[in-house]
Every structure is written in structure tokens, then in C-alpha cells.
Structure 1
Amino acid sequence: MPFMADTISVSELKQTLDQFVVIDVREQDELANGTIDGSTHMPLGLAIRNVKQGKIDDLKEKKICTFCASGYRANIAANELASAGFNVKNLEGGFMAWQKA
């Protein structure tokens, strides 16, 4: 079980959405279910490669929120980002919780 990254609730993210760079780590085919407005699509594998290769280091100055369908993959991504020095939170309950709110 991976370390649990810091989380943010759906209600908290909705109130502060403009303060975050939101990264959707779901796969391309999952986007048909919708996404969070303004989010950046970066599937989990690509997100991990981008972190390891320093391709998104410019985001270290920003607050990041990761999400997937339920939160599991986004937690993995958030751990990678946090380990590399990013200020990141994982959306509690993922996109399923976002849609229900």
C-alpha cells in the first residue's frame, strides 16, 4: 500500500479551485465520463515519467491537486510529486465524489 498523500475534500477544492493546477491522471478513455473544468489530462504513467524527467518542474511553485476515478491512482501520482518536492494534494474520493457533490 503506498503512502497516503495529503488530501483535499471535494467541497474544499470547489471553493479554492482557482488556486490549484488540477491534474487528471485517468486514462484517455475515462475522459468520456467528464472531467473537472480546467484540469490538465496527464495519465498516471506519463505523470510519473514527467516528474522523474523534470518535465513539469515549473509546477513546483504552484499548488497541485491530482485526481482519478476513485483516488487510488491519484494517490500514487501525488506521492511521486510530493517526493520530488511538489506541493500536492489528492482529491478525496476522486472524480466519482466530485460528480456526486
Structure 2
Amino acid sequence: MNFAPLPSVDVASVPADGLVLDVREDDEWAAGHVEGALHVPISNFVARFGEVTEVLAEGRRAYVMCRVGGRSAQVTQYLVQQGIDAVNIDGGMQAWEAAGRPMVTEDGSPAYVL
């Protein structure tokens, strides 16, 4: 079989107003995340797929993020198969943090990648 390469971008290519879809688990999200990101853990992604498609109904591109890029690659592949414009963020939150991109927490404590 011939598979198309997974669409991906580096963290520098994610626009400040881009829709980041964070598929990490709750404890990872709580430690630090991209402000304004949509948090849908991969463990319940399929159950919450309708919520994701509502947000993406405006034709926005989803920039899919996890810790290093493995889980987000799975979700990106699934979204692309559903006809949704989605790209995997290479290196995930580790690359985001290393690039000095801003991160936040819900409680205002210092953000870090778990």
C-alpha cells in the first residue's frame, strides 16, 4: 500500500492564532499547555470527536500536539482520513518549550512539560 506522508510542521510554523489541539492526558495538560489550545486527551478522543469537528467546522487547520509527536501523529492521521485539515507538530510540547514558545497553566503556576 502507498500512504501519503503525514502532514507536519515545526513549532516555529504554528501561527500565534492557530488552533492547537492538545491530545495529552490531564496531568500533562495541567503542568503546562499552549494558551487557547483545545484539550482533548487521546484516551477519549473518539468519544469527543464531535466536539472537535464543531470547532473545526469553520474550516480551520488543526495543529495537533502531544509531548513529543507520537500520539499527535496518530490523531493527525485519523483527522486527515476524516477529511479534516490537520497537521502534526513535530517534537510536540518538548520542542515548543525548547523554542521558547509561551506556555500557561490553569492555576498560574510556572508551566513545564511533563
TM-score by length of 2: 0.74
Percent of residue pairs identical: 29
**Which structure 2 segments of 5+ residues have no match?**
100-114
CA contact (8 A) 2:7 2:87 kept: yes
Greater helix content = 1
CA deviation after TM superposition for structure 1 residue 4, in Å: 5.2
Cα shift readout 1:16-51 (whole Å, capped 9, x = no counterpart): 131x22111000011232001110110013223333
Residue number in structure 2 paired with 1:17: 16
Residues 1:68 and 2:71 are matched in the alignment = no
**Which structure 1 segments of 5+ residues have no match?**
none
Greater strand content = 1
Superposed CA RMSD in Å reads 1.9
> Secondary structure of 1:96's partner?
helix
CA contact (8 A) 1:66 1:88 kept: yes
CA contact (8 A) 1:21 1:65 kept: yes
Inter-CA distance 55–39: structure 2 relative to 1 (3 Å threshold)? closer
Residue number in structure 2 paired with 1:26: 24
* Structure 1 runs of 4+ with >4 Å offset: none
Cα shift readout 1:33-71 (whole Å, capped 9, x = no counterpart): 2001110110013223333xx443331411101100000
Q: Which amino acid aligns with 2:13?
A: E
> Secondary structure of 1:56's partner?
helix
Q: Which amino acid aligns with 1:10?
A: V
The 2-side partners of 1:68 and 1:4 are apart by: 19
Residues 1:48 and 2:46 are matched in the alignment = yes
Q: Which amino acid aligns with 1:77?
A: V
TM-score by length of 1: 0.82
Q: Which amino acid aligns with 1:36?
A: V
CA contact (8 A) 1:4 1:75 kept: no
